Structure 1
Amino acid sequence: MAALKDIEKPAVTAAGLKGIQKAAALLVAIGEQRAGEIFKYLGESEVEALSLELAKAQKIPTEVCRDVITEAVESVLAEDYLAEGGVDYARSVLMRSLGEDRAEEIIGRLAATIERRPFEFLRRTPAEQIVVFLRNESPQTIALVVSNLHTTLAAQVLSDIDPEIQADVALRIALMAETRPEVVSHVESVMRSRLSAVGSQEYAAAGGVKSLADILNSSDRTTERNVLDELAKADGELAEEIRLLLFTFEDVVKLDDRSIQMVLKEVDQKDLAIALRGVSDDVAGKIFGNMSERGAELLKEEIQFQPPQRKRVVEEAQGRIVGVVRRLEEAGAIVISRGGGSGEDALV
């Protein structure tokens, strides 16, 4: 295998790099700070392999950096399109934006990943039909299937299953870590036969607290309330951990102006000044836009002249503001926009 330093040679392009070389080149291209953030999400063996490759790296040509970054961006976009509507939808969108040849190249590169996704064949199956097929299954089996569905479909299925087992299924999703490949294969086989579908799927990890939070974020308020109330009875700490993930500080852009103004009346201004450090322009604009001109100027000055803050301190301040949002929602004073559901929480 060619060493990464070989990419200095003009004849070598990004397309000619091996997987680990391309990953290392991408880390070099995006800079030390961002590369360090990515390392936090990698396993020990992956960090070691990439560190070794980075140690071999010399100066990487600008065109190689550009090509590697472009490929990474295209792959991420393709993954999003796949999540929205499957392979055909992703191919159609990519063809319109990049042309047929480039689209086929990207889809081909992701083909192995697509094939490894459990229960991919259920993507276009109506939620109510999945619920019927799962009706006589154990809560653990239902949790396995739901946790592997894409978020919107998973939320619909969780909303439609029997309320008596809804919280039990949710708890199992939150606690789920890994499932043996043979178990996944067996459940897939049963579901496939019921749907008269074909295909070969392999094991992939799913579930966990984040998975359940994503599902509940797309569920209607009634489903979320039922699940959290029952979870709190079984495991209060777990329920609180999930609750904190349901609405993040960046989600304030989802609130209407009236709701934001109510939140601003309740929060500590010192917390607000710290919480706004490093946020997106959309979030900052939403906050400043709901303050008086003088109030916004004073807050901007406080942010500008306050000393640098640790990330933990910023997140704690944001968490306290999120707590205010959740408290106001529980009291019925504000409404958080959510996906799915019957619209019972909409203002009329």
Structure 2
Amino acid sequence: MSVMTPVAEPPELKKYSGLQRAAALMLALGHEHGGPIWEQLTIDEIKELSQAIAQLGRVPAVVVEHLLVQFSGEVSSMTSLHGSFESTERLLEAVLPPERVKEIMEDIRGPSGRTMWDKLSNVSETVLAGYLKNEYPQTVAVILHKLRSDHAARVLAELPNEMATDVVMRMLRMETVQKDVILQVEQTLKSEFMTNLSRAQRRDPHETMAEVFNALDRTTEEAMLTALDEKAPESAERIRALMFTFEDLGNLLPAAIQVIVRNSNKRELALALKGSPEEMKQLFFSGMTERAAKLMRDDMSAMGPVRARDCEEAQTNLVRLAKSLGDRGEIVLVDPKSDDAMIY
């Protein structure tokens, strides 16, 4: 009888909690192998695990391999897994009825928290007070009674003075609230407020404009940002901070550079590097084989003089490729404003 040698725990595993390890495991198993496990979980367990998968982000291969030793042959070629709301929804659709998937996804897309009251405590006091202004004071009293005291205080301060006083008086006179009343209020909040909040959450318009500016040619981009500097300097600064530029590719991990090189048009890559600093050239050459790097250098030399506009266009297309690969979870793009990696 053979004895399996214990596999040393990779240091990367230490930053994952038990719940996150379970989430990575279920994501790796997929619906075919994970289906029987999902069927044994309660609705609360499914929600908790789904929330963890949706927020998982990138999982290093060494962690996946350690969690799935018996499937190491299958996962050893993977560089990472990417947990997202979309992959979570696809996974659940394969093992659960549509109505349960809808309920779970609406729940986990809302503000994070295990219970409805946890979630409500993560909603901005301004947003929550705006909703409660239209409710009966007695209902508001019940809701604030269930919230964390610090958050309830902030919500109370946002309510009109007369209404806030009425709510406080009702909270002072409040006896133990019947369970069915709590459940009814909770259901109303879930169906009317939390669901609408999830749907109403919109991206910062500066993020949208940053993507638009990324797609512009360099000359137009600078002209528009310069004009914006005069009329709305704060907006111009935020857009610049949110833009992912060709220079930001220099912050990528070597593995991400290799993926970009494999997926790029080699003629366009050569043109983009032709107009880039030597450090950027070296970064991309390091993502190629020695022979491929030499051929790329030869191609760049053979081009002779090229127009700056053509180089900038090729660089813009390379950024678009990087963002597309990031959207698909194939590479990790590094936020230039932070030391932390983030999935775009």
Q: Same fold (TM over 0.5)?
A: no
- TM-score bracket relative to the smaller structure: 0.3 to 0.5
**TM-score scaled by length of structure 2:** 0.37
TM-score, structure 1 length as denominator? 0.36
